[in-house]
Amino acid sequence: VIFSRRKRRPMKLVLLGTGGYYANDVRHTACLMLPEMGVVLDAGSGMFRVAEHLATERLDIFLTHAHLDHVLGLTYLLGVLPEAVQQQTTVHGAAEKLAAIRTHLFAEPLFPVMPAFQMQPLTGEVALAAGGKLTHFPLAHPGGSVGFRLDWPEGSLAYVTDTTAAADAAYVERIRGVNVLVHEAYFADETDGAGEMAEVTGHSCLRDVAQVAAAAEVGLLVLVHVDPQLDPDSDPDLRPAQQIFKNTLLGADRMEIEF
C-alpha cells in the first residue's frame, strides 16, 4: 500500500502483528515496525518477524502498555536478534509497566535468561533517526495505556490501541493531521452489546474509530488489533466506516505501508 501527499522518498511501515488478545492462524498480536528508523511499536507475538526486516544496528521498542498481547514478544528477542543488536536495543515504556515486565515476564520460573536490551522509562519527547521525534499521550484503558505520535520532516504517523474510540476523546487533538493513523478496532460493529463491551474492556468499535479519523483529519486510517474470534476467511465489512472516513483499510500481517 502506498500513500503519499507529495513526491519524496517514502517512509515504510510494516505491520508484523495486527490481531488482539491472542494469535490465530492469520494474525499475530500487536507489533509494528519502521525498519529504516529502527523503531518498533509494541512487542506482541508478531515480534518474531522483526529479524526479517532488521535494517539498523539497534532498535527502539516503544510499548503502549504491559498487557501480554503487547509485550510477550520481548521474550523472543533472545533468539531473534543478534547479540550485538540486543545490546544496543532500548525498550521504552511507562516506568511501572517496565517494572512489571522485569519482575513478572522475566521472572526466573517463567523465563530464566534476560535478553541484553536496556529498559528506559518513557517520560517525554524521544528523538528518532532522520530528524524525527516521538511523543506519547494517555489513553483510557484498564491498567493504563498510551498512544504514540511520530513526526519527521517528511511525514507523520500515529498509533492508538487499547482504548475506547470517540470523536471527542482528548487524544484526537494529539493525532490531528497525521499522514497515517494506525488505530485498533477490536469490535467490528456495535451489535450484540459490543458498544457496552468496548466501554468495559477499553477497546473500540469500527464506526467510532472512523469518526475519530474524520475528526482528526488524518490522511489514511489503518485498522489493527482486530478480534481474533472473527472468521479469518471473512473480513469485517468496512463500508459503514468508509461512509464516515473513505480512506480506511484493514491492516493485515506483513502488510507494508509507504507514506
Q: Is 250 left (phi over 0), alpha (psi -120 to 50) or beta?
A: beta
Give, for all 259 residues of the chain, the pLDDT tens digit: 655 555 567 899 999 999 999 999 999 999 999 999 999 999 999 999 999 999 999 999 999 999 999 999 999 999 999 999 999 999 999 999 999 999 999 999 999 999 999 999 999 999 999 999 999 999 999 999 999 999 999 999 999 999 999 999 999 999 999 999 999 999 987 566 566 777 778 899 999 999 999 999 999 999 999 999 988 777 788 999 999 999 999 999 999 999 9
Spatial separation of the C-alpha atoms in residues 229 and 43, rounded to whole Å? 21
Residue 152 half-sphere exposure toward CB, CA atoms < 13 A: 20
For the entire predicted model, the pTM comes to 0.94
- Which residues make Cβ contacts (< 8 Å) with residue 112, sequence separation at least 6? none
Dihedral over Cα of 248, 193, 195, 69: its sign: negative
Which residue type does 145 have?
S
